[in-house]
Structure 1
Amino acid sequence: MSDSAPLIHPTAVIDPSAKLGEGVRVGAFTLIGADVEIGDGTEVGPHCSIHGPTRIGRDNRFIGHVAVGGEPQDKKFAGERTELVIGDRNVFREFVTLSRGTAGGGGVTTIGNDNWMLAYTHIAHDCHVADHCVFSNNTTLAGHVSVGNWVIISGFAGAHQFCRIGDHAFLGMGALVTGDIPPFTMVGIDGHGRPRGINSEGLKRRGFDAERISAIKRAYRTVFVAGLPLAEAKQQLAEQAQDSADVKQLLDFIESGERPLQR
């Protein structure tokens, strides 16, 4: 066996149709089903199950007892072909579950690149998670939830179906989200998912300077503190957005939503 050939524990069960890239490692008592593709350098630990159709990129780590690519938990699902697509360099800790999509929701669940999903995270059908997110223990996303880049979700927090969570948002421990969370927003830890300011510390760590953060704070106050009707708040944001691409991003997010904004 060459150094680049997959290294498969003798107790693992691999469907003949599965495609494993170079350097893939598969641990003890793991099941990899039909119509699964796993990219180079990915490590699948012990007691995992990966069902297809599932496409997995390179250099991912499934630590152990992870179950991905299973049928969606949706009573309308009737066995139609749907997919789970995972990017590169993600880490999935113990007992993470990721469901495939449904025909009514676009047919695919997607996970981007460089995400950390800690123990017992659940990502339901037709969710779309972008890049560089951290989901702490017991994070739960219902179906059709979209999560932007650099989002942090604390332990035992969750999102209602069809919600959107914008780039750089931060959800506190136990926060329950039932509406859209705009980019840059911090959500309170009182269990009701109320906005509690902007994620200033996270923005600083990602290189946002004081001028950008000040503009985002002003936009946040316009939407969440000033007590304005949403239509009037959006008019003021449009003026502020002329001098700030970040405010423009926030305004575009608000205007494109179908669920109510969580205010």
Structure 2
Amino acid sequence: MTTRADQTAGPAAVEPPRLLDTGEPDTFRVPVETGHPYLAQHLVQGRRVLPGVACLEMALRGAARVRPGARPFAVRDAAWLRPVYGDEPLDELSVAFRTAPGARETDYTVTNRGALCAMGTLLFEPQDRALAVGLEVRDEICAHTRSHLTRAEIYEEFSNMGIDYGPYFRRNSYVQRHGQRSLAWLSHNDGTRIGLVNLLDCAFQSGMAISIGEHRDSLMPFSMGHMVFHAPTRFPLGSAFVLTEKLSPFRTNFTLFDEDYEPLLSVFDLGVKPAL
């Protein structure tokens, strides 16, 4: 299926929207053009919708300005309260930060024209947590799977759910499934580079792919317990692997690995709900 999203971008690097000073302390305006791949290549029921993970990316970039030199080790208690649509004015989309004196954590909020869209807390001290999904799950899937979905099959099914992704968000080259677990390979074999936003969005897609053939509900994130960075990551990536485990129809854990299966980050307790 060819969509408007398919026609909007090629393999060039995608630059994130700029962070603009507002004159208010620790607050940045992040205007997003409707033609930006984050919107133009992410259609839900025909509407341009900013991926929830773009709010995480805004928060991480903004924190680097607010706390220069401080490394974020995790995001805690993230929530997406209101979708950001491409058919509404986005010139006042903003991210703001609040840090208590001496604290090793910073709260962030994403708003558009005063409406709260997303929030969470960035942690600036090391996190001693195991992987959300370990490599033993990879071995189990490889030994027992009888389900191998190709890129074409994955994105055709998503289109049937009402979610149309453009090239930037079509990084899942295959998904292998076994029970409520999956192994996915994200690649840039068509030249499209993998940055933080399409990396995280495609990891979320691999969780939806577990249920392909069972139901056709389109889902969107609304909460996340923790996202822990196991190692610093340099973008763009060439490829990545994702191990995912569904805890319930609306709760998922996943761990992202580089192409050598070194862990990059884990997401614990990602909550999803029906889209729009």
TM-score normalised by structure 1 residue count: 0.24
Q: Larger RCO: Structure 1 or Structure 2 (Cα < 8 Å, ≥ 6 residues apart)?
A: 2
Larger Rg: 1
More strand by share: 2
| TM-score, structure 2 as length reference | 0.23
